[in-house]
Amino acid sequence: MTRKLGVSADGIFEADTLEALDQIKAAGFDSIFTDFYDDKTTNRQIAEKADKLGLTYETIHAPFFTDNFGKCNSLWVPDENTERFSGLLLRCIDTCADLKIPTMIMHVSNGEFPPRINDFGYEAFARLIDRAGERGVNLAFENLRSL
């Protein structure tokens, strides 16, 4: 069995992500992942170019903190950003499904002292998990060290 090699397409600082794809392919990588771009256009452009180059677009990393949408801790404690942040993650799931990207990576919480696990959070995650299941997207949860 041959293992595929993947790399972040957002990690080449001298090039924008679309330009980096050529370098990634030339370096011998087989697959990529990127951050989520809420306008869909960028993720779609990346997916189309990756496909042309024969690169598999394996994952999108969901935002966990943004100036406009709050942070993932809003999933556990209702605040002014809860609905906006949940909506952002739902759009990320939909983008993965629309572009046939099989997996969305997301943080469960943020910071040294995240909110305690609670029913509000379970309900928020249930909505995300339900949407991902409906759309055929795997959710990968990371940074669980502070739960």
pTM of the model: 0.92
Q: Which two tokens stand for residue 3?
A: 């293992």
- In Å, what is the CA distance from 38 to each residue of 25, 112, 141? 25, 27, 20
Residue 146 confidence (pLDDT):
63
Radius of gyration of the chain (CA): 16
Helix (H) and strand (E) counts for the chain?
4, 7
Which stretches in the chain have pLDDT values below 50?
A: none
CA 24 to chain centre: 20
